[in-house]
């Protein structure tokens, strides 16, 4: 199961979001517009997940995308950082 959520800022919603997840469902979770910096993303992660991919703005505020993958799923990331441009274009695989 894949879950996508445009969270529009998760800082004050982390507990609510984590409590809303089904503990028994195997889920890949994609959060968009999380508004976090890289050092803050670890506060969102469930212990059974790995941060598979992330994008966050370094210059401007807000936006951001992160994908959490269950630890028992093998995956490989593709580095597309050269194509991401703040306030213009972002994508992840």
- Answer yes or no: is 90 within a domain: no
Residue 78 in this model has a pLDDT that exceeds 70: yes
The answer to whether position 27 is within a domain reads yes
Which residue segment(s) compose the domain that 16 sits in?
2-83
Q: What is the three-class DSSP state of 59?
A: coil
Task: Classify residue 91: in a domain, yes or no.
Answer: no
Is 88 within a domain? no
Residue whose entry in the numeric block shows the structure tokens 């998760």:
10
53, two tokens: 């991919």
Q: pLDDT tens across 10-60, in order?
A: 888 888 887 888 777 768 888 888 888 777 877 776 677 888 888 777 777
pLDDT score at 44: 75
pLDDT given at position 45: 65
Average pLDDT estimate for 61-86: 80
Structure tokens at 31: 């959060």
């Amino acid at each position: 199961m894949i879950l996508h959520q445009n969270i529009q800022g998760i800082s004050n919603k982390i507990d609510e979001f984590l409590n809303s997840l089904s503990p028994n469902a195997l889920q890949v979770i994609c959060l968009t517009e999380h508004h976090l910096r890289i050092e803050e993303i670890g506060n969102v992660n469930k212990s059974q997940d790995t941060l598979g991919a992330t994008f966050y703005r370094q210059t401007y505020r807000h936006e951001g995308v992160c994908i959490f993958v269950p630890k028992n799923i093998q995956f490989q990331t593709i580095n597309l950082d050269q194509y991401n441009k703040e306030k213009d274009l972002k994508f992840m695989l």
